[in-house]
Amino acid sequence: MKEFASLYAALDLVESGYEIYPLSANTKIPPKGHHGYSEATRDQNTIWDWFQNNPDYNLGLALDTSHLLVVDVDIHESAKNGKDSLMKLQRQGKTLPNDTYIEKTAGGGLHYFFKYVGAKIRKVDVWPGIDLLTDFTVIAPSEINAKPYEALDGRTLADVKPAPNWLVAELTGQKANWTPENVYATRTKKYTGKLLDEMVNGTEQGNRNAWLTKMIGRLFATGAEPETVYELSCSINERFIDQPLETKEVTTIYNSILKREMKRFERNSVRNSRIAG
């Protein structure tokens, strides 16, 4: 770690409204005489004292006061490989957005950061190798055994996205009932229901344009207003496509289908006027 890297990172964080605290060099443990995240602060004078006298300190971030949630994906054990768990969740339609702030950890795992307002919780092994943290975490540029925590793709905490609804439900214990029994046993799935199911299942990178084109066309077929279709199209792109398209691509696809729908409407109007006449 470069000299005073933790100090400079700490000052940047507190200027952005986050609370930080010191950790002993090369560890996740508070220095002797310190109290971990319970003394997290935004006070720059205190931070100068901590890190100017101890430039090798690691850096901790208070998550609860920063309104953040970290999904901690570990790969320490073959039986608890968090990346395998992520793949299983993705097959269930539960995908972590890749455009949020993500750090590679010193142990080779990943920390996904999301906006979250809720109770302070630390849930370990929610899925094998995956913990959910809303209390505190180690953050870049900390190092353990000369291996750094580092941000992916040059992002910062300014790039943090809201936590997906399914993740918040898991964290708060408000789990959805996926069983086919109860009320759905007596209902026939209609067009919109099938569309919603297909939408949530999402798609992978190689099929993005074709899949989103199909989804937008089907949204228009529900009779929704064009503005509603566009808003949903942008949301679908962000939530349910692995590696979302650029907004301008979504707009281009939407405009193309809107033009087609307007021509179809005009043809139907002419035909109906002839029948009525």
Question: Exposed (0-12), middle (13-18) or buried (19+): which is 92, by Cβ within 10 Å?
Answer: exposed
- In sequence order, what are the residues at sequence separation of 6 or more whose Cβ sits closer than 8 angstroms to the Cβ of residue 159? 99, 100, 101
Q: Which of 63, 47, 67 is nearest to 6 (CA)?
A: 47
Q: Which two tokens stand for residue 263?
A: 């021509």
Cβ neighbours of 255 (radius 10 Å) = 11
Q: Which of 67, 259, 90 is nearest to 163 (CA)?
A: 67
How high is the pLDDT of residue 56?
Answer: 92
How high is the pLDDT of residue 189?
Answer: 60
Rg from Cα positions in the chain: 24
CA 216 – CA 253 distance, rounded (Å): 8
143: three-class secondary structure by DSSP: strand
How high is the pLDDT of residue 177?
Answer: 42
How high is the pLDDT of residue 274?
Answer: 54
How high is the pLDDT of residue 133?
Answer: 93
How high is the pLDDT of residue 22?
Answer: 94
How high is the pLDDT of residue 78?
Answer: 66
CA 255 – CA 252 distance, rounded (Å): 5
How high is the pLDDT of residue 92?
Answer: 87
Q: In this structure, are residues 150 and 143 in contact, taking their beta carbons and an 8 Å threshold?
A: no
Domain parsing of the chain, residue ranges: 5-172, 182-276
How high is the pLDDT of residue 237?
Answer: 83
Give buried/exposed letters for 127-164 (b at 16+ CB in 10 A, else e). Answer: bebbbbbbebbbbbbbbbeeebbebeeeeebeebbebb
How high is the pLDDT of residue 179?
Answer: 44
Q: In this structure, are residues 47 and 14 in contact, taking their beta carbons and an 8 Å threshold?
A: yes
How high is the pLDDT of residue 104?
Answer: 95
Q: Which segments of the chain have a pLDDT < 50?
A: 175-186
Q: Which of 242, 246, 254 is nearest to 214 (CA)?
A: 254
